[in-house]
A and B are shown apart, each in its own frame.
Chain A
Amino acid sequence: MAEIIVVTSGKGGVGKTTTSAAIATGLALRGKRTVVIDFDIGLRNLDLIMGCERRVVYDFVNVINGEANLSQALIKDKRVANLYILPASQTRDKDALTKEGVGKVLDQLAENHDYIVCDSPAGIEAGAMMALYFADIAVITTNPEVSSVRDSDRIIGMLQSRSRRAELGLEPIKEHLLITRYVPERVERGDMLSVESITEILAVPLAGVIPESGAVLKASNCGQPVILDTESDAGQAYADTVARILGEEREFRFVNVEKKGFLSRIFGG
């Protein structure tokens, strides 16, 4: 039976799609049979981040409406084994997703996958509610910035009251906090919220801290999930995050300012 992971945030532009792509790829690299679904109907972008935009024939809504079957719509990743992408429809609107339709597709996917990663759209409307409804695990993506933290708190409220697990009175969704675009230098200077402050406010266990990194933009330019850039700080931080979601203990990296040597202090760099 598959576990369903929703990558959510409330606020837009905090890195949900980057995170969905990285976590799904990371799980597949760890040998888990994984499918990642784009729930952003009308504004699909996961295909671009995964680098499979030219291979999209059928989409999520086609499958729900019975216009295509799953094997026709799923795109197999060319780099990593055990990884599939289910793209969003670009032409319909968010009302195309129904609870029954989504539930049926997820049930079918659960038969032969270990993890189903749901990339939520921003906001708290139908598409975002559908992405979180069936979740077993939530990755709450947050930037160290007031509006993002506040929106994350609202989404946490939704996870706890509007999900299937909440409605059926089951064990609650397992929540993981992921802080993205973190700049330790600015935190040290006192003009950016620290990891400690954010975890204290949201009271959700921390699964990862992704540093602000040029590697993320470079990865999206090339259509390569950033976790495949194993040399980069962001790639390594995502690999640690995946390990923590799988229950492993990892020390947090890239959260403190690296101490510079005497020479680089004088000459810069």
Chain B
Amino acid sequence: MSLLDYFRTSKPDVQSANLAKDRLQIIVAHERSLRNNTPDYLPQLKLDILEVIKKYVAVTSDQVSVQLDQRDNNLSVLELNVTLPEE
């Protein structure tokens, strides 16, 4: 950088690298949660649970939701939600 440049340069208002970092942190965390929190067996598990519930109550697959949440490193929560049909 020469003397002339020294006077010419104006500091950019937005530091685009910070924006890049923020965007990356969000998308990477999202993509990691997709790949870590859905084990291969989850769809089959959902089907099996549905079969069991069907024996007793008339439900369809969209009335049952199965989710696995990673709360922290030592705790995973398997959440099962069944919407029971109104009589």
**Chain A interface residues (CB < 8 Å from chain B):** 145-146, 149-150, 153-154, 157, 161, 187, 189-194, 197, 201-202, 260, 265-268
Contact = CB atoms under 8 A, between A and B. Distances in A.
Contact of A266 (B3, B21, B31): B3
A263 to B, nearest CB: 11
A150 B27 CA distance: 8
B76 to A, nearest CB: 17
A265 B15 contact: no
Given A154-B31, A190-B18, A265-B6, 4 more contacts: A146-B24, A149-B28, A191-B12, A268-B2
A197 B15 contact: no
Contact of B15 (A145, A154, A191, A268): A191
B55 interface: no
B52 interface: no
A190 B12 contact: yes
B35 interface: yes
B20 interface: yes
Nearest to A260: B1
Given A150-B24, A193-B21, A197-B17, A268 B31 contact: no
A265 B25 contact: no
A192 B31 CA distance: 23
Contacts of B25: 201
A87 B87 CA distance: 70
B20 A193 contact: yes
B83 interface: no
A265 B24 contact: no
A157 B32 CA distance: 8
Contacts of A154: 31
